[in-house]
Structure 1
Amino acid sequence: MLKIGILVSGGGTNLQAVLDAIDCGTITNAEVKVVISNNRNAYALERARNHGIEDFCISPADFKEREEFYEALLSKIDQYCLDLIVLAGYLVAIPAAMIKKYRNRIINVHPSLIPSFCGKGYYGLKVHEAALARGVKVTGATVHYVDEGMDTGPILLQKAVEVREGDTPEALQRRVMEEAEWQILPQAIQLIANGQEESQ
């Protein structure tokens, strides 16, 4: 059984997609053990509670030094002996020590087709604003392994989404979530849980 920890910063729609996929059997051999947020008001924590999953807020604001925050985060994650850490809209940089310790066991979902519109400053609505400003006809989402770079780790899955005439950043964000992120994040977890990711 793959033990998963999910890190979130906001509403937790990707978290919900994973929980729903586990509930309906689209993801097998996996369970979410803990949900951690840097934001105590994140609705994602409520989603975890509703599912009977342990949840914690570990915020950089509660620590004098960033290193103390990193130590607290890593210490909490270590308690759960996790097989996989999923960044599902987590807006805090992951410490190098955690990347090293959990090498090839951390995945992230990013709302564009990497290498487009990724890296520093590209998160949330900013990604979709940039895609529309550039005039691309196709965007999408990517699930990738996390390494020391920003959105530079090996790509696991991608799914394209059409950009429509008159799209606003908000409309595009919603479509990318519904048609790509919520599809490929559970799919990636299913592949990892069942040892199939190498064949993709």
Structure 2
Amino acid sequence: MGKNVAILASGNGTNAENIIRYFQEKGGEGGVVLVVSNRQNVNVFKRAENLHVPCIYISKEKWTTGEEVLKLLADYRVDFIVLAGFLAKVPDALLHAYPQRIINIHPSLLPKFGGKGMYGDRVHQAVVEAGERESGITIQYINEHYDEGDIIAQFRCPVFPKDTAEDVAVRVHALEYEHYPQVIERLLAEIDK
């Protein structure tokens, strides 16, 4: 039986769209049944709506306790939660309700360049400024601390001496689009084994 996935996203939504398309192309039961954001009028909603996935905004006040989010996830029978560019702290109530069933992707090789405030282009700029020779992505379970959950997988790409943050971002995004849906699919297959 297929598993239902909710995506939490705060911005443009390219990763969310990629994940939704991946599972829709696979067909069958389950897949992405809901997109939730802590921000209104974000592109991820347009992308999800174009793919016929319901989208719901949860205000900061309602997000903090997690109660309304938990009810929403129960209404959609969500089995697994995927963060894709989600820029809010996940409430403890969700962590307890979905142990080892909430994952995040980070645009660096953690533990390097992680922590509060380290996301998106800030990470790529820090990688370039540090003179790193490689970067990549980390897919991890989340816990109560930013970017400190158990690592599930890491995938690497080179960083060349003359690279800009934008050059690194292009390579990292390619890794995200290729690997994140596949890792999600593998983790879903392992549920209830």
TM-score by length of 1: 0.88
**Which residue of the other structure, out of 167, 191, 194, is the alignment partner of 2:189?**
194
8 Å CA contact retained: 1:129, 1:169? yes
Cα deviation per residue 1:116-161 (whole Å; 9 max; x = unaligned)?
Answer: 1111221111111111111100000011111122111111111001
1:23 matched to 2:19: no
Report deviation, 1:169.
Answer: 1.5
Q: Quick one: higher RCO (CA 8 Å, sep 6+), 1 or 2? A: 1
1:139 matched to 2:135: yes
1:115 matched to 2:116: no
Distance 1:4 1:183 in 2: 18
List aligned pairs for 1:39-58, cutoff 5 A: 39-58=39-58
8 Å CA contact retained: 1:6, 1:86? yes
Q: Identity over the aligned pairs, expressed in percent?
A: 35
Aligned amino acid, residue 170 of structure 1:
E
Equivalence for 1:183: 178
Aligned amino acid, residue 152 of structure 2:
L
Gaps of 5+ in 1: none
Distance 2:158 2:30 in 1: 31
Report deviation, 1:99.
Answer: 0.5
Aligned amino acid, residue 177 of structure 1:
H
Aligned amino acid, residue 176 of structure 1:
V
Report deviation, 1:164.
Answer: 2.2
| Alignment coverage as a number of residue pairs | 191
TM-score by length of 2: 0.91
Report deviation, 1:66.
Answer: 6.4
Report deviation, 1:175.
Answer: 1.8
Is the partner of 1:184 in helix, strand or coil?
A: helix
Divergent runs of 4+, >6 A: none
Distance 1:93 1:84 in 2: 17
8 Å CA contact retained: 1:29, 1:194? no
Q: 1:173 to 1:28 in 2, by over 3 A?
A: farther
List aligned pairs for 1:89-168, cutoff 5 A: 89-168=85-164
Gaps of 5+ in 2: none
Mean Cα deviation higher: 117-126 or 101-110: 117-126
Q: 1:89 to 1:66 in 2, by over 3 A?
A: closer
Distance 2:137 2:30 in 1: 23
Distance 1:3 1:148 in 2: 23
Report deviation, 1:191.
Answer: 0.4
Is the partner of 2:190 in helix, strand or coil?
A: coil
